[in-house]
């Protein structure tokens, strides 16, 4: 990759060749379009490294457990792609990809601002002990079939005051919208 975080033509061809068997499933079902992967690489939301001639997607994620004044936990209800596909990822918290060199708490604050539209100046973000050291997991990507992804995760918890409480939050992006709702399931907060 060059300094602008773009894939050079040779690397792009190498990535396409490695994912050739699964590329036809991109943009279908739960999978994102291949162009979404390229955009993640370009913006620094992920990086592609090669291990044993296979691409691995590296993603640094901040997860934010949001608790309401009622003790409810905010969860992602579903995503709706611009083509009408519905995707339920089973996410129990907000997740935000960290930008290169972005401090974890800054990414957590950005998650609240971007995904919920909530100002964060007066919110207290508690970094959870499980975050030290970061939890690292390699698994098949939910969004990009055939591409293993290594996630590095840091967890935060934030309590939302009643003044910022809404029954539902919707994040609108060019390719999808994400809906968040409260769950009253038992919490360890």
d(CA 43, CA 67): 30
* Under 8 Å between Cβ of 153 and 98: no
The predicted-structure confidence for 154-166, as pLDDT tens digits, reads as follows 999 999 999 999 9
- The reported pLDDT for the residue numbered 134 is 58
- The reported pLDDT for the residue numbered 189 is 43
End-to-end Cα spacing for the chain? 42
- The reported pLDDT for the residue numbered 131 is 53
- The reported pLDDT for the residue numbered 33 is 92
The fold of the 57-183 domain, in CATH, is: Nucleoside Triphosphate Pyrophosphohydrolase (3.90.79)
- The reported pLDDT for the residue numbered 175 is 87
- The reported pLDDT for the residue numbered 4 is 38
The predicted-structure confidence for 82-109, as pLDDT tens digits, reads as follows 999 998 887 778 999 999 889 999 999 9
- The reported pLDDT for the residue numbered 139 is 85
- The reported pLDDT for the residue numbered 130 is 64
* Under 8 Å between Cβ of 91 and 75: yes
* Under 8 Å between Cβ of 158 and 66: yes
Positions in the chain whose pLDDT score sits under 70: 1-7, 130-135, 185-189
d(CA 152, CA 59): 6
Quick check: pTM over 0.75? Answer: yes
């Amino acid at each position: 990759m060059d300094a602008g975080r773009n894939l050079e033509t040779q690397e792009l061809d190498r990535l396409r060749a490695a994912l050739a068997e699964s590329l036809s499933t991109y943009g279908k079902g739960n999978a994102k379009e291949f162009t979404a992967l390229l955009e993640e690489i370009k913006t620094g939301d992920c990086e592609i490294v090669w291990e044993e001639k296979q691409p691995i997607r590296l993603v640094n994620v901040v997860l934010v457990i949001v608790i309401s004044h009622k003790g409810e936990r905010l969860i992602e209800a579903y995503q709706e792609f611009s083509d009408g596909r519905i995707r339920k990822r089973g996410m129990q918290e907000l997740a935000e990809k960290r930008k290169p060199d972005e401090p974890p708490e800054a990414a957590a604050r950005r998650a609240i601002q971007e995904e919920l539209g909530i100002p964060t100046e007066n919110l207290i973000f508690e970094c959870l002990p499980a975050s030290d050291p970061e939890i690292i997991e390699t698994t098949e990507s939910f969004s990009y079939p055939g591409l293993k992804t290594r996630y590095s995760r840091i967890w935060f918890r934030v309590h939302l005051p009643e003044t910022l409480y809404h029954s539902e939050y919707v994040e609108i992006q060019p390719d999808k919208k994400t809906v968040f709702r409260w769950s009253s399931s038992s919490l360890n907060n």
